[in-house]
Chain A
Amino acid sequence: MAIISTSHLSKRYANGTAALNGVSLALEAGQFTVILGPSGSGKSTLLRLFNGLETPTEGSVSINGTVLQRRNLRHVRREVGMVFQHFNLVGRLNVMTNVLIGRLAYRSWLGSMLHLFREEDFRIAHEALARVGLAEKAWVRADQLSGGQQQRVGIARALAQRPRVILADEPVASLDPVTSTEVLGLLKQICREDGIAVVANLHQPDYTHQYADRVIGLNSGRVIFDDAPGQLTDNRLQTIYHRDSQPQETRHAELALAHA
């Protein structure tokens, strides 16, 4: 059974922007899926819908067979970890606490108001930190780490919640090439070893070739490519990144010429 499935998913924002148009997908466990597409094609919107950070205008999202709804949001989010472009760690808290945040969905509000956790949670967090190779930084404040380290903490936070899916919205867009391969390699390894489905938005076709098991191309909120990375020829890349509207400059030139 597919771990994430959507049917006729559409999203129109309050200001009228139609970000997604009838997307139907089924993503498998243990697969590394990369979503490609030009800026504004709806990649982030799609991932945010998977996690319930946005609600669909039409259609629905199911995680492991459960349809995402307002009521079960917290419950479903346990299964879905998320990694962000700008890490979104709480900079003033230490690394350990940031990883423990991944356990919050399992715990009641009373203990967490006082920032108290169970021994078991500490073990899980410790394990996640060791997995990303940052155990020795456990008590350092998160905002003192380098970008690559912060992204690894972000991955540890997602791991700590024992998810079935990890969503990653441009996880390497703020990182240098060496760190980027480190982070993507880590995600790939997690995908392989734990059978977790990883869905990542990327802007780099070469990383896509290197890491993806499956590539989905989005343009103007529609799926226009869905295949193995081997099928991603230059030609098809062109169609993914194709723009409908004329570039701004030419229109300006036309306007200027009209007055000449």
Chain B
Amino acid sequence: MATERLVNLPALPPKPRNLIPLWASLLLGLCWLVVWHLDISFQTLLWGWQDILEYFSRYTSPDFRDAPKYLWLMLETMAMGLWGTVLAFIIAFLLAPYAARNLSPNPWVYNLTRELLNFMRAMPDILLALILVSSMGLGPLPGALALGIHTAGFLGKFFAESLERVEHGRYEALDAVGAGFSQKILYAGWPSILREMTGYTLYILDRNIRTGAVLGLVGAGGIGIALYDTLRMFNYNQAAALLIIMLGTIIVLDRLSGLIRSKLH
């Protein structure tokens, strides 16, 4: 019976071309080229696994003698993260309405603000810290500024996108009563996205504290410089202590901000 039916089976339409194998092999080829160009040999990783294990075993006896100093540095890192985040929030708060397509007073302002935020985002915070350190001197303040400028780009973009997603009717209602630009944003814009804003800001705070831990590498304060120094002197025991303190703090903060964010939802 089945074969009988087979004879007058209606033909399938032509099969569309499946481009996935093509793209996958292109990507594979590209990766192979990259590995060759970067001169990476995974064999060394395979052959040298004993050396690598030995290397990581050097971190197994952390030395907490200088713990108070490290904790103080971690505190400094956290302060940097906080100041950076507040700065970012202020900048983003002021710029975002101009970068929201549906609110911006004119396309010029819109494009200009967007590009400005984009530029801030594109400049890595380490680069900004390097520049600010060489013009302002060593210390945590340039670090905080660098974090603030870089993450303002992110916050500004996220805020603007949230403002764009607010129902059109809410802005229209404000237009209808004759509200001005700033009134529209204050009474329809921000209240509608308050929750998202808080979430983003907490996330950025988290991120800034995490990144703040490396700004010390370029002289911008915080715990990074201590890590750099201990590793340069091959003091693995102290480096291990530093890493543990960093990790502990970051994980606790991560849990905390996760908790607050889930409370908000």
CA distance A139 to B9 in the complex (A): 17
Say if the beta carbon of B15 comes within 8 Å of chain A.
Answer: yes
Say if the beta carbon of B11 comes within 8 Å of chain A.
Answer: yes
CA distance A123 to B11 in the complex (A): 11
Pair A135/B10 contact, Cβ less than 8 Å: yes
Closest beta carbon of chain A to B9's beta carbon, Å: 5
Say if the beta carbon of B16 comes within 8 Å of chain A.
Answer: yes
CA distance A107 to B99 in the complex (A): 54
Pair B5/A127 contact, Cβ less than 8 Å: yes
Closest beta carbon of chain A to B78's beta carbon, Å: 44
Per-residue B-contact encoding for A95-137, CB less than 8 Å = 1, 0 else: 0100000000000000000000000000100110111000110
CA distance A43 to B6 in the complex (A): 37
Say if the beta carbon of B2 comes within 8 Å of chain A.
Answer: yes
* A123 to B, closest residue via Cβ: B6
Restricting to B73-108, which residues have a CB under 8 Å from any CB of A? none
Say if the beta carbon of B13 comes within 8 Å of chain A.
Answer: yes
Pair A126/B12 contact, Cβ less than 8 Å: yes
Say if the beta carbon of A138 comes within 8 Å of chain B.
Answer: yes
Closest beta carbon of chain B to A190's beta carbon, Å: 12
Determine the chain A residues whose CB is within 8 A of the CB of B1 once the complex forms: 193-194
Pair B9/A135 contact, Cβ less than 8 Å: yes
Determine the chain B residues whose CB is within 8 A of the CB of A138 once the complex forms: 12-13
Determine the chain B residues whose CB is within 8 A of the CB of A194 once the complex forms: 1
Pair B13/A130 contact, Cβ less than 8 Å: no
Pair B15/A139 contact, Cβ less than 8 Å: yes
Per-residue A-contact encoding for B1-45, CB less than 8 Å = 1, 0 else: 110011001111101100000000000000000000000000000
* B15 to A, closest residue via Cβ: A139
Taking each of B10, B12, B16, which has the highest tally of chain A beta carbons within 10 Å of its own beta carbon?
B12
Determine the chain A residues whose CB is within 8 A of the CB of B11 once the complex forms: 135
CA distance A96 to B9 in the complex (A): 15
Closest beta carbon of chain B to A30's beta carbon, Å: 14
CA distance A47 to B208 in the complex (A): 54
CA distance A236 to B227 in the complex (A): 82
Pair A136/B6 contact, Cβ less than 8 Å: no
**Which of these, B5, B12, B16, contacts A135 with CB under 8 Å?**
B12
Closest beta carbon of chain B to A108's beta carbon, Å: 20
* A114 to B, closest residue via Cβ: B21
Closest beta carbon of chain A to B14's beta carbon, Å: 8
Closest beta carbon of chain B to A21's beta carbon, Å: 41
* B13 to A, closest residue via Cβ: A136
Pair A127/B2 contact, Cβ less than 8 Å: yes
Determine the chain A residues whose CB is within 8 A of the CB of B5 once the complex forms: 127, 130-131
**Which of these, A130, A136, A193, contacts B9 with CB under 8 Å?**
A130
Determine the chain A residues whose CB is within 8 A of the CB of B12 once the complex forms: 96, 126, 129, 135-136, 138-139
Determine the chain A residues whose CB is within 8 A of the CB of B16 once the complex forms: 139
Restricting to B29-75, which residues have a CB under 8 Å from any CB of A? none
CA distance A127 to B1 in the complex (A): 12
Closest beta carbon of chain B to A9's beta carbon, Å: 34
* A131 to B, closest residue via Cβ: B5
CA distance A129 to B6 in the complex (A): 12
Determine the chain A residues whose CB is within 8 A of the CB of B2 once the complex forms: 127
* A193 to B, closest residue via Cβ: B1
Pair A126/B9 contact, Cβ less than 8 Å: yes
Restricting to B139-155, which residues have a CB under 8 Å from any CB of A? none
Per-residue B-contact encoding for A178-196, CB less than 8 Å = 1, 0 else: 0000000000000001100
The 6 closest A-B pairs by CB, nearest first: A135-B10, A138-B12, A130-B9, A139-B16, A130-B10, A136-B13
15 A-B pairs whose Cβ atoms sit less than 8 Å apart in the complex: A123-B6, A126-B9, A127-B2, A127-B5, A127-B6, A127-B9, A129-B12, A130-B10, A131-B5, A135-B10, A135-B12, A135-B13, A136-B10, A139-B13, A139-B16
Query: Which residues of B are interface residues toward A (Cβ below 8 A)?
Result: 1-2, 5-6, 9-13, 15-16
| Additional A-B contact list (4), CB under 8 Å, known A123-B6, A127-B5, A135-B10 | A126-B12, A127-B6, A130-B5, A136-B12
